[in-house]
Amino acid sequence: MKPTKVILDCDPGHDDAIALLMAHKLPEVELLAVTTVCGNAPLAKTTANALRIMELIGATDVPIAAGCVSPIARPLVLGTADGPSGLDGSPYLPQPTIKPVDMHAVDFLAAVLREAEEPVVLAPTGPLTNVGMFVLKYPELLNRIEKVVLMGGACYRRDEYITPTEFNIFCDPEAAEIVLTSGMDITMVGLDVTMRVVVEEPQYEAIAGINTPLARVVEDWLKFYEKLHRGQMGIGGALHDPLVLAAVIDPEIIETREAHVEIDRTGTHTFGATVADFWGLRGLATNAKVASQVDSEKFFSMFYKSLEM
Ligand code: RIB
Ligand code: CA
């Protein structure tokens, strides 16, 4: 079967880093390009991290373009799980020798899509600023995107560890609204499912049993990355962004429900929340498939496989 052509828009970020690794290593994906956005760290750091990661995994042939330096309509609020560098826990990673392309990510996205022989899957794993700006600047190219499979939102469970908001949407709610009203085929992989792919002792044992240099680096990333979760909620790090890649490779790894999703942009305690109407009560057309269930076991075996390669 032909590999799926994918463009990954990310804010590395430890879990973005693992998503990049999976996208490059797993044969079911052809990674056409990587675009970076502010989010887990300022743009300069997420871009430097993307360069370092792609060089580490041997993906130096994949072009990387830096994107938006701040959200569309509000100041940047940084993510907090990844440390000041955005990739703490791996200071030994060499500085990159590769450079980003000399084009803004939004324009580079257009160039890559124009050249692609067939529509491409867009996998955003950070705030949707680049994607939102792309929708506004290149509406004529939306048909070159087969579907958007994004990490974002929290629509079902409000368990004790799910806040009403999820960072990628909270960070740039205007961009999320633009993407959700674009008419594109959107699958939302939100906290409802990503908080079911958390790295705990059994997963650390499985990783420890993988004898590759990449598994060692990922171990170091996960040990740092879990600190926030472990401290706040007593759980390990959730592999939010890697689940997006898994859902691109095997859409059946998640179950989804159609909904009309809007972003709360006026709430005090719920600002940035994704509000999903699954029942058509508001008489509005559905605009997203919202992931509700995940086959965690299937996900982790795909994750381990990428570390073994
Ligand atoms: O809420 C989780 C998301 O925020 C992930 O994409 C993580 O990398 C951060 O960007
Ligand atoms: Ca991310």
Cα dihedral: 250, 255, 260, 264 (round 10): -90
Distance between CA 292 and CA 281 in Å, rounded? 19
Residue 31 has pLDDT above 70, yes or no: yes
The tens digit of pLDDT for each residue in 110-155 reads: 999 999 999 999 999 999 999 999 999 999 999 999 999 999 999 8
Bridge partners, 9 (sequence order): 35, 124
Report the 3 state secondary structure along 267-284.
CCCCCCCEEEECCCCCCC
| pLDDT value of position 161 | 58
Catalytic residue among 24, 229, 240, 260: 240
* CA 46 – ligand 2 centroid, Å: 10
Helical ranges in 38-77 per DSSP H: 43-56
| pLDDT value of position 1 | 85
The tens digit of pLDDT for each residue in 207-250 reads: 999 999 999 999 999 999 999 889 988 999 999 999 999 999 99
Residue 288 has pLDDT above 90, yes or no: yes
The tens digit of pLDDT for each residue in 247-278 reads: 999 999 999 999 999 999 999 889 999 999 99
* Domain spans of the chain, in order of start: 4-307
Pocket-testing residue among 125, 171, 224, ligand 1, by greatest number of atoms within 8 A of Cβ: 125
For the chain, what percent of residues have pLDDT higher than 90? 89
Give just the sign of the alpha carbon dihedral 207, 195, 44, 133. positive
Residue 158 has pLDDT above 90, yes or no: no
Query: And the tokens for 19?
Result: 């998503």
Distance between CA 273 and CA 263 in Å, rounded? 6
Q: 4-307: which CATH topology?
A: Inosine-uridine Nucleoside N-ribohydrolase; Chain A (3.90.245)
Distance between CA 39 and CA 10 in Å, rounded? 9
Q: Please state the rounded mean pLDDT for residues 96-105.
A: 97
Distance between CA 265 and CA 201 in Å, rounded? 38
CB 273 within 8 A of CB 264: yes
From the centroid of its chain, how far is CA 108?
Answer: 19
Query: And the tokens for 221?
Result: 């990333």
Pocket-testing residue among 8, 16, 165, 192, ligand 1, by greatest number of atoms within 8 A of Cβ: 16
* Ligand with smallest separation from the Cα of 239: 1
| pLDDT value of position 180 | 98
| pLDDT value of position 157 | 67
Residue 162 has pLDDT above 60, yes or no: no
Residue 24 has pLDDT above 70, yes or no: yes
| pLDDT value of position 131 | 99
The tens digit of pLDDT for each residue in 178-210 reads: 999 999 999 999 999 999 999 999 999 999 999
- The amino acid sitting at 297 is E
DSSP strand E in the chain: where?
A: 4-10, 29-36, 64-66, 120-124, 145-151, 186-189, 254-263, 274-277, 288-294
| pLDDT value of position 18 | 98
From the centroid of its chain, how far is CA 210?
Answer: 24
Q: Please state the rounded mean pLDDT for residues 294-307.
A: 98
Which region among 88-92, 96-100, 165-169, 291-295 has the lowest average model confidence (pLDDT)? 88-92
pTM of the predicted protein model: 0.97
| pLDDT value of position 3 | 97
Distance between CA 63 and CA 65 in Å, rounded? 7
Distance between CA 59 and CA 225 in Å, rounded? 23
Residue 240 annotated to the active site: yes
| Beta carbons within 8 Å of 124's beta carbon, 6+ residues apart | 8, 9, 10, 130, 131, 148, 150, 151, 152, 168, 244
- The amino acid sitting at 64 is I
